[in-house]
Amino acid sequence: MDRFLRYVRIDTQSAEDADTYPSTEKQLDLSRLLVDELHAIGLTDAALTEHGYVLATLPGAAGAPVVGLIAHVDTTPETPGGGVEPIVHEAYDGAPIVLPGDPTQVLDPVEEPELAARVGHDIVTSDGTTLLGADDKAGVAEIMAALEYLAAHPEPAHATVRVAFTVDEEVGLGAHHFDLDEFGAEVGYTLDGSGLGELEIETFSARAVRITIRGRGAHPGSAKGKLVNSVKLAADLIAALPRDALSPETTDGREGFVHPSRISGSVEETVVALIVRDHDDGKLEEHTALVRRLAAELEAREPRARVTVDATDTYSNMRAAIDRHPRVVAAAEEAIRRAGVEPVRSLIRGGTDGAVLSAMGLPTPNIFTGGQNYHSLREWASVQDMSAAAATVVELARVWAEPAA
């Protein structure tokens, strides 16, 4: 908990559309602290790479596979993330938690069964004016705690562990400069999940779609028959998207979506940015085709406008890559059990660094951290669940030093 509280106080927000890598220099404030703390634990090779990743090694049993552990230091730019003042609600009594910095922010156990189930736990929140940053400083703290424990307890034997603390995960670039040869792990795990016991082996396949609508400007006083307003055309396009389906606000589980996330422009040109998601690559194609069809229809109705669609793949579902390495999942489930928790296989309605790493050849499922309500002012984490995640990491390093079952 002390580590976690220390880390969340450091502002590490990443930024969209930056020209630098990492997107913000302040992320490295935490990365540099982690290098120092890793040295103090005894991981003498800990260092910052030229791209801002922290890499370090805890040597272990010769001949056992090298296990990679990965978490990201940055927090989302979607929610205020500077000046975090963590509050520990010790031995939670089950009542609604009113966050003092903004009393309209209330954690209500009636609305949140996960919170209701944690009476007696120590619950960490922000003061309600910022996110907490459990995503992913809980993961960072758990890996650090596990490394410290393993370094002090070499018996029973554990596998060699390689650690990476990445930057810019929240803007989709966490693995952008990740060098698998330099990392040198044979299997990987991100500590970037949520609820107790969850092991995520599937992500969305993700695509960014950018629709550019070019209209025609004219002085509004003499625009009759001349003006083509791209703002109105963009509104038509968005209004034509499905609402009761294929939207984040109306889907869950395995249902994908087409989500207009940003719009900017004026009469002459308007850009609509969408994200398209599905667990099934075939359906991802269908959703993209729907967007292209709506764009073509718009242009057909107003031939004086120019509508272009650019689609870029962001990451793909890691399931297929992980299925080729069944021991990666079995070892994680065994480690979770040894930490006293029942493992729950689940899927991510989003992506992780692991999705990109799995596609690059390092199978990397995602392990729970004990944090909840990510990217929200009402983000919280249970210290007891974070402890279970740290214990899972310790057990995982040991499981991989044992002969394959």
Catalytic positions, written as ranges: 74, 169
Query: Is residue 385 part of the contact set for Zn ion (CB under 5 A)?
Result: no
Distant-in-sequence, close-in-space partners of 391: CB < 8 Å, separation ≥ 6: 146, 338, 339, 340
Nearest partner of 187 among 57, 67, 352, judged by Cα? 67
CB of 146 to Zn ion, least distance (A): 18
SS (HEC) of 67-135: EEEEEECCECCCCCCCCCCCEEECCCCCCCEECCCCCCCEECCCCCHHHHCCCCCCEEECCCCCCCCHH
Question: Closest approach of Cβ 192 to Zn ion, in Å?
Answer: 4
- Angular region, 17: left φ>0, alpha ψ -120 to 50, beta rest: left
Sole residue written with tokens 């007696």 = 120
Helices 230-239/281-301 angle, 10° precision:
140
Measured from the CB atom, the residue of 136 and 379 that comes closer to Zn ion is 136
Nearest distance from C-beta of residue 349 to Zn ion, angstroms:
13
Closest to Zn ion by CB, 45 or 78: 78
Tell me if 395 contacts Zn ion by CB under 5 A. Answer: no
Residue 266 CB neighbours (<10 A): 11
Whole-angstrom distance, CA of residue 230 vs CA of residue 318: 38
The residue within the footprint of Zn ion, chosen from 11, 37, 142, 192 (CB under 5 A), is 192
Angle between helices 134-152 and 383-399 (to 10 degrees): 50
- Please select the residue that binds Zn ion; options are 136, 200, 302, 353, rule is CB under 5 A: 136
To Zn ion, the closest distance from the beta carbon of 385 in angstroms equals 16
Residue 168, interface with Zn ion (CB under 5 A)? no
**Of the candidates 11, 37, 74, 135, which one interacts with Zn ion according to CB under 5 A?**
135
Quick check: 379 binds Zn ion (CB under 5 A)? no
| 81 to 100: interface string for Zn ion, x by CB under 5 A | --------------------
Q: How far is the CB of 13 from Zn ion (least distance, A)?
A: 13
Residue 200 touching Zn ion (CB under 5 A): no
Sign of the four-CA dihedral 318, 337, 390, 398: negative
By CB under 5 A, the residues from 306 to 365 that bind Zn ion are none
Q: Tell me how many residues contact Zn ion (CB under 5 A).
A: 3
In terms of Cα–Cα distance, which of 133, 85, 127, 91 is closest to 107?
127
Nearer Cβ to Zn ion, position 37 or 136?
A: 136
Taking contact as CB under 5 A, which single stretch among the options 127-135, 215-223, 297-305, 314-322 is the one that binds Zn ion? 127-135
Stretch that binds Zn ion, among 136-144, 181-189, 285-293, 382-390 (CB under 5 A): 136-144
Residues that bind Zn ion (CB under 5 A): 135-136, 192
